[in-house]
Structures are given as structure tokens and as C-alpha cells.
């Protein structure tokens, strides 16, 4: 099996998909902010935070970096990945922002055991959970 690289190379359709998710996150955050509802972003298969475009060879922001740039901002960010190299890359992107939480491990466990229990309906905290593990094209 091919070893996982720090950054994936992604094709044109994946770049479009990232733009759609970014625009959806911005609309979601705008609406929830207007309703005065605290909202968090959860990326269950976060990756390294950025990728390399097959077309241009340039870095392309991945879903975590796009989420961090959304305005108005989310209250918190939760990024999960199984791969330690990608987790280290996410930690570099997060820097010392204390509203960003990076987890190394299986999202199927971390979501249920650690993240979802903090999102009670009664607390009015809402979350956009991006949970897709598609292979890049
Ligand atoms: C296609 S990449 C994610 C790209 C990112 N969501 C984006 O849109 O920029 C998929 C990632 O899921 C991670 N992964 C696979 N299975 C996982 C699991 N069970 N829990 C957490 N991460 C997982 C892999 O290590 C890989 O970095």
C-alpha cells in the first residue's frame, strides 16, 4: 500500500468541491450569527489542512483552513485525523489559537466520546459537521 503523504494532490473537481463546502460554511455561519446561536465547526476527516493542486502545483486550502477563514467566525473548530503527520500539520495551522482543537485518532470514536457530548441541544450550541472521506479526483 502507498504510504500517506503529508499533502494530497488534488484535481479540479476536488477544488470545486472545496469551494462549495467553503461557501456553505460561510452561509451557515452568517445565518447562525444573525440568530445569535453559538456554532462550532467539526471536520471529522480533516486531512493536513491544505493540498497541492494537480493543475498548478500550488497549495490549495483544505476544508480546515477554509473553515478557519470563514467570516463571521465559528465559536470553535474541531479537526480530527488518523494520520500523525497530518495532525502535526493541523497543529501548525492552528498555532496558538485556543478555539482550535486538533485530535489524532478515529473520528468514529472521537466524535461520539469527546465532541458530540459538548453539543447539547439545550445549550443552543449548533455544529456544522463535515464528515466525508472521499478520495481525491
Ligand atoms: C481526503 S482527506 C480529507 C480532506 C479534507 N476533509 C478536505 O476536504 O480538505 C481524508 C483524511 O481522512 C483521514 N482518515 C481516514 N479515516 C479516518 C478516520 N476513521 N478517522 C479520522 N480520520 C480519518 C485520512 O488520514 C485523510 O487525511
pLDDT of residue 120: 84
Closest Cα partner for 25 from 97, 96, 77? 77
pLDDT of residue 5: 86
- Residue 114: C-alpha distances to residues 106, 111, 119 (Å): 11, 6, 10
Backbone angles phi, psi at 46, to 5 degrees: -70, -30
Distance from residue 135's CA to the centre of ligand 1 (Å)? 9
Answer for the pair 18, 66: CB distance below 8 angstroms, yes or no. Answer: yes
Residue 61 in contact with ligand 1 by CB distance below 6 A = no
CATH code at 56? Answer: 3.40.50.150
Confidence grade of residue 34 (pLDDT, cut at 50, 70, 90): very high
pLDDT of residue 137: 59
Residue 23 parent element (H or E): helix 12-34
- Has residue 2 been placed in a domain? no
- Residue 5: C-alpha distances to residues 64, 77, 84, 85, 94 (Å): 17, 24, 11, 8, 20
Instruction: Tell me how many domains the chain contains.
Output: 1
- Has residue 4 been placed in a domain? no
- Has residue 115 been placed in a domain? yes
- Has residue 90 been placed in a domain? yes
pLDDT of residue 30: 98
- Has residue 94 been placed in a domain? yes
pLDDT of residue 46: 97
Whose C-alpha lies nearest to ligand 1, atom 9? 62
pLDDT of residue 111: 97
- Has residue 31 been placed in a domain? yes
Q: How many residues does the chain have?
A: 137
- pLDDT-above-90 percentage for the chain: 87
pLDDT of residue 3: 66
Answer for the pair 117, 17: CB distance below 8 angstroms, yes or no. Answer: no
Domain that holds residue 109: 9-130
pLDDT of residue 2: 61
- Has residue 137 been placed in a domain? no
Ligand 1 atom index nearest CA of 49: 9
How many CB atoms are located within 10 Å of the residue 56 CB?
Answer: 9
Pocket test for ligand 1, best of 1, 21, 46, 132 (most atoms within 8 A of CB): 46
pLDDT of residue 135: 65
Distance from residue 123's CA to the centre of ligand 1 (Å)? 29
pLDDT in tens, 43-93: 999 999 999 999 999 999 999 999 999 999 999 999 999 999 999 999 999
> Using the 8-state DSSP alphabet, how is residue 44 labeled?
T
Ligand 1 atom index nearest CA of 51: 9
- Has residue 39 been placed in a domain? yes
Residue 45 in contact with ligand 1 by CB distance below 6 A = yes
Amino acid at each position: 500500500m502507498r504510504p500517506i503523504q503529508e499533502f494530497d494532490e488534488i484535481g479540479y473537481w476536488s477544488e470545486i468541491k472545496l469551494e462549495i463546502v467553503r461557501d456553505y460554511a460561510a452561509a451557515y455561519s452568517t445565518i447562525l450569527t444573525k440568530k445569535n446561536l453559538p456554532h462550532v465547526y467539526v471536520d471529522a476527516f480533516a486531512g493536513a489542512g491544505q493540498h497541492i493542486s494537480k493543475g498548478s502545483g500550488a497549495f490549495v486550502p483544505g476544508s480546515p483552513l477554509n473553515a478557519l477563514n470563514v467570516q463571521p467566525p465559528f465559536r470553535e473548530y474541531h479537526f480530527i485525523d488518523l494520520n500523525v503527520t497530518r495532525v502535526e500539520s493541523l497543529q501548525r495551522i492552528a498555532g496558538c489559537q485556543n478555539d482550535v482543537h486538533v485530535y489524532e485518532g478515529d473520528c468514529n470514536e472521537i466524535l461520539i466520546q469527546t465532541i458530540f457530548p459538548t453539543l447539547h441541544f439545550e445549550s443552543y450550541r449548533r455544529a456544522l459537521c463535515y464528515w466525508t472521506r472521499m478520495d481525491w479526483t
